[in-house]
Amino acid sequence: DVKVTQSSRYLVKRTGEKVFLECVQDMDHENMFWYRQDPGLGLRLIYFSYDVKMKEKGDIPEGYSVSREKKERFSLILESASTNQTSMYLCASSPGLAGVGEQYFGPGTRLTVT
C-alpha cells in the first residue's frame, strides 16, 4: 500500500515563526502536492512538483515556499507564519505521467498560528 506520512498531526506556532511541514511518500511517485483545506473553501492547491528540484505554483502560493531535494520528500515552508495560515495542510503524491491520475493523501497537519 502507498503510504504518505506527514511529520506532525498537530502543530502550534507563533506569528512570525518559520514553519516546516514535511511529507514523505514510500512508493517512488514522481508527483507531489501540497494543499490547504479550510471550511467552506474546499481543497486549494499551494504548490506541486513533478520531479526532484522541480516546483510549480498552485492556486495560492503566496506566503509559502517548497523544497524537493529527494524524490520521496516534499517540504512546505511558511517563511513567516501568520494567523491567516491557520489551516489543515494535506500532502499528496501520485504516480501518473505529469501528475495525471489518482492522488494518495497523508493524514494532514492541523496548524494553528497564534
Partner 1 sequence: GDSVTQMEGPVTLSEEAFLTINCTYTATGYPSLFWYVQYPGEGLQLLLKATKADDKGSNKGFEATYRKETTSFHLEKGSVQVSDSAVYFCALSGYTNAGKSTFGDGTTLTVKP
Q: In the complex, which residues of this chain contact partner 1 (CB under 8 A)? A: 4, 31, 33, 40-43, 45, 48, 50, 56, 58, 90, 92, 96-108
Report d(CA 17, CA 19) in Å as an integer: 6
Write the CA distances from 14 to 19, 87, 102, integer angstroms: 9, 14, 35
How many CA atoms, within 13 angstroms, populate the side-chain half-sphere of residue 47?
21
Task: In angstroms, give the least distance from the CB of 61 to partner 1.
Answer: 13
Task: In angstroms, give the least distance from the CB of 87 to partner 1.
Answer: 14
Task: In angstroms, give the least distance from the CB of 29 to partner 1.
Answer: 12
CB closer to partner 1 out of 16 and 101 = 101
User: What are the start-end ranges of the E strands in 26-108?
Assistant: 31-38, 42-49, 56-57, 64-70, 73-78, 87-94, 104-105
Task: In angstroms, give the least distance from the CB of 101 to partner 1.
Answer: 6
CB closer to partner 1 out of 58 and 63 = 58
CB closer to partner 1 out of 26 and 79 = 26
